[in-house]
Amino acid sequence: MLRMTDLGSGRRRGKWYLRLAVLVVCLFGVIVIYVSNQLLTQRFTETISNRSDVRLALYVTNLMNELQRNSVVPQLLSRDPDLIKALEDKDYSLSTARLLSFVDEIGAASLTLLDRDGRAVAATDRNRIGTDHRQNPYFVDAQRSNQTVYTTYQRPEGGFAYVYSRRVEVAGTLLGVIMVEVNGQRLETGWAGVSDAVLVMDSAGTIIMATEPRWRGLNEEEALARQSAPSAIERAIRATQGWGALPADAYLRGEAVLRREMRVPHQGWRMVSYTTYASVRERVNGILALEVMGFAILLALLFWGSSRRTASRLVFFQRESAELRALNRRLQREIAEREKVEKTLQVAEQTIAQSSKLAALGEMSAAVSHELNQPLAAMKTYLAGARLLLQRERPQEALSSFQRIDDLLERMGAITRQLKSYARKGAEAFEPVDTRAAVSTALSLMEPQLKTRAVNIIRTLPNEPVMILGDRLRLEQVIINLLRNALDATKLSANPTIEILLAAGDTVSLQIRDNGAGIDNLDELFEPFYTTKQPGDGVGLGLAISSGIVNDLGGRLTARNAVDGGAIFEVQLPTLRQDVAAAE
């Protein structure tokens, strides 16, 4: 009787132990799942946030590349001889075809040519021909400025236009204005995604670009208040309704959507993107399913140990465990694939960064090689002359050659220091410079090359000093480059002649003219690495560097073919006023 009582008591204690074990396992499982949910949600949320930042930075870079690429087009078209001749002759029969030949290569939305009265005389959009633009800001601002001006305005039919404009002039006389419209629709199409929405606001907070067309022209709060807009962000909101496990800063208007903002370095613009967290819930649930599987197996073992009569239930748990293991394997494969993709992306980013560094290093090496070529050639000639003088026992004249070589060495050192400042803007090292002295120094440095050939040099210089505010060394580099090009251009001429004309007025004009064969391609003449010389004779950086130097000095470098043959290069620089020179 006692043994039956003890057995019954043991069974009751076993049941209580089983219930207590089940309760402990369940409580522990709830705690583990809750903590895992919080930690994993935070981790995956940060991952999506980082990817959103990278994507937004890429969008900003693409926008700036598109704007910068279109910003240089008006400067090039304003120098197009066909368009200038059409404005001078008022014959626009071929101008539209001329613009159409450029628009596809440039990638702009449209090109428009306006005359001095603001009337569209040629356009890639033929509907605009004949329209009046004299009151529009892009025409008015372009008339008043010698630089390319940017204008954003809202079209009457809706949407915004992004226009670069520049005046077309000849010898300071306004002929018209060239307009280049940026293709903003192509950018918006590239931003569009399934769960992302992107918008760009100007400095006043007005939306000027957006993946949702109905947002344009509104501020951000007004745009989000439009509930009926079929945008990608609303689809993201619907997909994530009812999810309350995100931190407070992950919500926009009470929904699980991430907002990111980045400044666009143009006109005070800002870009905003919205990203849904829908994929985070799926990934967290997959890992939580693994934890649930573990606790389910543990409970199954407890129930299996408590009674062998529950075999059917054991089979059920085993089948469920097999399904969960299969899910675990699928999730592990997916995680491995995602990690592989992320590693591939990191390798690609490192490769792009290294390629950019090598390209910059190569360009700088080519520039240094080109700029040092002139002094090296002169040093070689002076060394040969000094050797000959020493053989003839004329040491004093040889010492003069060595002094010139020493001067050239100092100049080479100055050139290497000067090349480091090409990327900087400013006039912190500028001083009054007599342009006549710069021309004389350049001719002295070119003396060895000029002596090797019978070239007729004609100089026309004023009697009075011609002063500018600039850097004498860099101005001499420009003159040497132009003389070297003129010397090369006259190799095949019967009577090679180089004419140097310096004139002073409101601006200082320095013309270097040769009687060579002329220039075939004026459009690409000042592009880096463009050259017509044989391999080994030049790298095509001389004119590009010279144009950059003249721009830094506040002037411009132009080229044209002479009527009677040959080429004319003209450097125009601001004249130094007497009061400024006295202050200096």
- Give 576's contacts (C-beta < 8 A, 6+ positions apart): 432, 467, 468, 469
- Confidence tier at 574 by pLDDT (50, 70, 90): very high
Please tell me whether residue 91 adopts helix, strand or coil conformation.
coil
- Confirm whether 541 is domain-assigned: yes
- Confidence tier at 578 by pLDDT (50, 70, 90): low
CB 92 within 8 A of CB 102: no
The sign of the torsion formed by the CA atoms of 495, 498, 503, 509 equals positive
| pLDDT reported for residue 128 | 84
| pLDDT reported for residue 426 | 43
d(CA 378, CA 385): 11
> Per mean pLDDT, which range of 186-195, 271-280, 362-371, 571-580 is the poorest?
362-371
Task: List beta partners, residue 467.
Answer: 434
- Confirm whether 531 is domain-assigned: yes
- Confirm whether 131 is domain-assigned: no
Supply the DSSP string of 133-150, one letter for each residue.
Answer: -TTSHHHHHHHH-SS-EE
| Whether the predicted pLDDT of 572 surpasses 90 | yes
- Confidence tier at 312 by pLDDT (50, 70, 90): low
- Return the H-helix or E-strand segment holding 109: none
| pLDDT reported for residue 251 | 36
d(CA 478, CA 42): 60
Share of residues in the chain with pLDDT > 70 (%):
77
| pLDDT reported for residue 416 | 66
Q: Which residue has the tokens 């990191």?
A: 346
- Give 365's contacts (C-beta < 8 A, 6+ positions apart): none
d(CA 466, CA 308): 111
Average pLDDT along the chain: 77
- Confidence tier at 282 by pLDDT (50, 70, 90): low
- Confirm whether 549 is domain-assigned: yes
- Return the H-helix or E-strand segment holding 232: helix 232-239
| Whether the predicted pLDDT of 252 surpasses 60 | no
> If you average pLDDT over residues 229-257, what whole number do you get?
43
Residue range of the domain that includes 467 = 430-574
How many Cα atoms are found within 13 Å in the side-chain-facing hemisphere of 20?
A: 6
- Confirm whether 237 is domain-assigned: no
Give residue-wise pLDDT tens across range 413-424: 766 655 554 444
Please tell me whether residue 412 adopts helix, strand or coil conformation.
helix
> Per mean pLDDT, which range of 112-116, 289-293, 540-544 is the poorest?
540-544
The DSSP output letter for 499 is E
Give residue-wise pLDDT tens across range 472-524: 888 888 898 898 888 888 888 888 889 999 998 889 999 999 988 888 877 77
| Closest to 378 (Cα-Cα) out of 437, 439, 451, 440 | 451
- Confirm whether 521 is domain-assigned: yes
Give residue-wise pLDDT tens across range 162-180: 888 998 888 888 889 999 9
| pLDDT reported for residue 362 | 53
Tokens at 478, concatenated: 């420009």
| Closest to 413 (Cα-Cα) out of 381, 368, 365 | 368
> If you average pLDDT over residues 310-316, what whole number do you get?
64
> Per mean pLDDT, which range of 20-34, 209-223, 299-313, 543-557 is the poorest?
299-313
> If you average pLDDT over residues 287-309, what whole number do you get?
75
| pLDDT reported for residue 4 | 44
| pLDDT reported for residue 573 | 93
CATH number at residue 444: 3.30.565.10
Give residue-wise pLDDT tens across range 41-97: 777 777 777 887 888 888 888 888 888 888 888 888 888 888 888 888 888 888 888
- Confirm whether 532 is domain-assigned: yes
Give me the helix-helix angle, 2-71 and 278-306, nearest 10°. 170
| Whether the predicted pLDDT of 456 surpasses 80 | yes
Q: How many domains does the chain have?
A: 1
| Whether the predicted pLDDT of 533 surpasses 50 | yes
Answer with the residue of higher pLDDT: 334 or 385: 334
| pLDDT reported for residue 172 | 82
The DSSP output letter for 433 is E
| Whether the predicted pLDDT of 238 surpasses 80 | no
- Confirm whether 49 is domain-assigned: no
| Whether the predicted pLDDT of 315 surpasses 80 | no
| pLDDT reported for residue 509 | 92
| pLDDT reported for residue 517 | 82
